[in-house]
Amino acid sequence: MIPLVHVDRQMQSMKAEIISCVAEIINSGQYVLGEQGRLFEKEVCQYLNSPYTINVANGTDALVLALRSLDIGVGDEVITTPFTFFATAEAISRVKAIPVFVDIDPVSYNMDPKLIEAKITNRTKAIIPVHLFGKSCHMEQISKIAKAHNLYVIEDACQAFGGEYNGEKLGAIGDVGCFSFFPTKNLSTFGDGGLVVTKHKKVADRIKRLRHHGSEKKYFHEEVGYNSRLDEVHAAVLRLSLQKIDQWNETRIKKAGTYSTLADLEGYTLPQLVKGKEHVYHLYCLEHNRRDDLIQYLNDQGIASGVYYPLPLHLQNVYKKLGYQHGDFPVAELKSKRLLALPMHPFLKEEEQQYIIEQLRTF
Ligand SMILES: *Cc1c(COP(=O)(O)O)cnc(C)c1O
């Protein structure tokens, strides 16, 4: 079976370096909030060209801490997309704010900026654009709307590490940006990890305090916070991976180019080709009318594929209480029935990809 992602191949490629880092960490006796974490934060600041980054335990916590650091809470409204991983909306609900959804653009699959203004009320505090599948949102339009209405922009860049918009790194464009280092993400470790990036010193200081039990000075607590930190081992793996991320993303972009040879085939709608690193193909998703038959066919030929996402968030059981109906976001609902993800990762072999393309043609 050709899997969707091959995280073990990525880790194997760095195994010797990782083992020697782990041995050093064992000897250091410093396992949480130590030198590796500090260096990783510093190196990511340089990479993203942003003044502050804070390591946290995972991408969901990054979003929760971002919201908390901006004092977004009970009854506040946050505008986002219904076509994303659940954690985006879950974080909004976790701080007792209300997720307000807008439909997506049919080509980019990202939130449609034209639909945002109609959803702004006097309780709206922030917009969370999600760079879905690694494709950048239209940040210029979103930033303009946010500025006009005095709203914060929190980028969910969990699927888009290393991606860019107009030459700026995704995550570092809005007020706050959030990343996940879950094993399948573009920049990842063999466990959980996350990061918050911000331009604002006040926000950075607050997140540092929140991730560590609301404490600035050991055993003195200013507020109720979290235990949300990145272990030294993961920080070390991420430092090694950060050196390779550009090369890995370029390989993904090249492989997306290879898949685009399917463009002449009837029945397939491929992701729009974009310039530079506007898309870093965390997932390579295409559309087909007979999506479910295609999944079955590929599976029979030994090729895994995935559905991102089978049920938009406004139709999830947990959000019944928000009162949305079928038909409220027709584009998201349609795409949830048409999209499938093909195997895509930097370690996908050329002959594997040629076999996948051959089978797509045969279907
Ligand atoms: C993975 C992901 C998250 C959550 O990250 P975790 O590290 O799994 O908590 C949030 N938003 C999006 C869009 C993601 O893909």
Query: Which pLDDT score, from 0 to 100, does residue 130 have?
Result: 98
Over pLDDT 90: what percentage of the chain? 99
The number of the ligand 1 atom at minimal distance from the alpha carbon of 60 is 9
For the chain, give the number of residues.
363
Give φ, ψ of 76 to 5 degrees: -70, 150
**Would you say residue 12 has pLDDT above 90?**
yes
Gap from CA of 111 to ligand 1 centroid (Å): 17
List, for residues 145-176, the tens digit of each pLDDT value: 999 999 999 999 999 999 999 999 999 999 99
Over pLDDT 70: what percentage of the chain? 100
**309 preceded by cis ω (within 30°)?**
yes
* Average pLDDT score over residue span 286-297: 97
The number of the ligand 1 atom at minimal distance from the alpha carbon of 180 is 7
User: Does ligand 1 come within 6 angstroms of the Cβ of 83?
Assistant: no
Confidence of residue 336 (pLDDT cuts 50, 70, 90): very high
Gap from CA of 131 to ligand 1 centroid (Å): 11
Residue 294: domain span = 245-362
User: Does ligand 1 come within 6 angstroms of the Cβ of 85?
Assistant: yes
Does one domain contain both 230 and 296?
no
- Burial of 251 from C-beta contacts in 10 A (0-12 / 13-18 / 19+): middle
* Average pLDDT score over residue span 29-41: 96
The number of the ligand 1 atom at minimal distance from the alpha carbon of 91 is 10
Residue nearest to atom 2 of ligand 1 (CA): 158
Gap from CA of 284 to ligand 1 centroid (Å): 17
**Would you say residue 134 has pLDDT above 90?**
yes
Instruction: For residue 312, give the CATH number of its domain.
Output: 3.90.1150.10
Confidence of residue 347 (pLDDT cuts 50, 70, 90): very high
Query: Which pLDDT score, from 0 to 100, does residue 284 have?
Result: 98
Confidence of residue 31 (pLDDT cuts 50, 70, 90): very high
The number of the ligand 1 atom at minimal distance from the alpha carbon of 185 is 1
Give the end of a domain, one of 225, 242, 259. Answer: 242
**AA letter at 73:** G
* Average pLDDT score over residue span 262-283: 94
Nearest by Cα to 176 from 147, 196, 159: 196
Is 307 within a domain?
Answer: yes
Does one domain contain both 226 and 287?
no
Query: Which pLDDT score, from 0 to 100, does residue 273 have?
Result: 85
List, for residues 235-249, the tens digit of each pLDDT value: 999 999 999 999 999
Q: What is the 3-state secondary structure (H, E, C) of 40-69?
A: HHHHHHHHHCCCEEEEECCHHHHHHHHHHH
Is 1 within a domain?
Answer: no
Gap from CA of 320 to ligand 1 centroid (Å): 22
Does one domain contain both 151 and 284?
no
Pick from 85, 131, 188, 285 the residue to mutate for probing ligand 1's pocket: most ligand atoms within 8 Å of its CB: 85
Does one domain contain both 132 and 198?
yes
Gap from CA of 184 to ligand 1 centroid (Å): 10
Does one domain contain both 228 and 302?
no
